[in-house]
Amino acid sequence: MELDKSRIEDAIIREVADNIMHEDELRERVKKAVDQRVDVLFKTVADAQISAAVEAAVSAGFDHEYSRVTAYGQREGAPTTIRKELEKMIAGYWNEKVDKGGKPATGYGADITRAEWVMMQIVAESFKGDMKQHVVNLGGALKDKLRAELHGTVNRLLSEVFHVNSEGDRGLGGVGRSIIDAEQKPVSKS
């Protein structure tokens, strides 16, 4: 009996294909993988398109002209856009005159704009912090120098009053003396 290689291969392929087609588990896995891939593609593409559409709608809304109307529906003033009105409001806010507390004012003391007042507050706060640190640094240096000067003065005074070569004096290099000085006599006038 002669074996036909191509017939055997065809039979194996047919058997594998039949088994694969009848396996529900494999079909479900393939379906799930395809669904996941479609969801990812939809999310990526759809989100980008939705974002672009929302941006375009908002931009168009800000640039769409409208006219103000009275309570009776009659047009009032020239046509404008939301963008122009916002720009006016923002410019008005920063250019408004304020007092020293930053509150809107029109009388005496209202000689700076809100923008100038805010900048002065920022600069003053920064300057205050820098100056505080500088004062602390100077105070520390003064304290250290004063401590050293006082220490030296107290050592000199103690050595002048107590003429004894103490243990501490030996550590300082023999500042004290171990003899009693002769009694001091007043200076004679000649």
**Phi and psi at residue 99, to the nearest 5°:** -90, -170
**Phi and psi at residue 102, to the nearest 5°:** 85, 10
Are 81 and 62 in contact by the 8 Å Cβ rule? The answer is yes
Mean pLDDT, residues 45-49: 87
Query: Which DSSP letter does residue 71 get?
Result: T
**Is residue 164 situated within a structural domain?**
yes
The pTM is what?
Answer: 0.38
**Is residue 103 situated within a structural domain?**
yes
**Is residue 70 situated within a structural domain?**
no
**Is residue 188 situated within a structural domain?**
no
**Is residue 91 situated within a structural domain?**
yes
Placement of tokens 């047009």 in the chain: 75
**Is residue 104 situated within a structural domain?**
yes
Radius of gyration of the chain (CA): 47
Collapsed DSSP state (helix, strand, coil) of residue 189: coil
Containing structural domain, residue 113: 79-168
The model's pLDDT over 125-142, given as tens digits with 9 standing for 90+, comes to 888 888 888 888 898 899
Residues 6+ apart with CB under 8 A from 20: 26
Helices and strands (DSSP H and E) totals, the chain: 5, 4
Tokens of 112: 């700076």
Query: How many folded domains does the chain comprise?
Result: 1
Tokens of 117: 């007042």
The gap from C-alpha 118 to its chain's centroid, in whole angstroms, comes to 19
**Is residue 48 situated within a structural domain?**
no
Q: How far is CA 95 from CA 80, 98, 117, in A?
A: 21, 9, 10
Are 138 and 152 in contact by the 8 Å Cβ rule? The answer is no
Of 112 and 18, the structure prediction assigns the larger pLDDT to 112
Tokens of 42: 């939809």
Using 50, 70 and 90 to split pLDDT, how confident is the model at 147?
A: very high
**Is residue 37 situated within a structural domain?**
no
The model's pLDDT over 155-190, given as tens digits with 9 standing for 90+, comes to 888 777 776 666 666 666 655 455 555 566 666 665
| CA proximity to 83, closest of 103, 69, 65 | 65
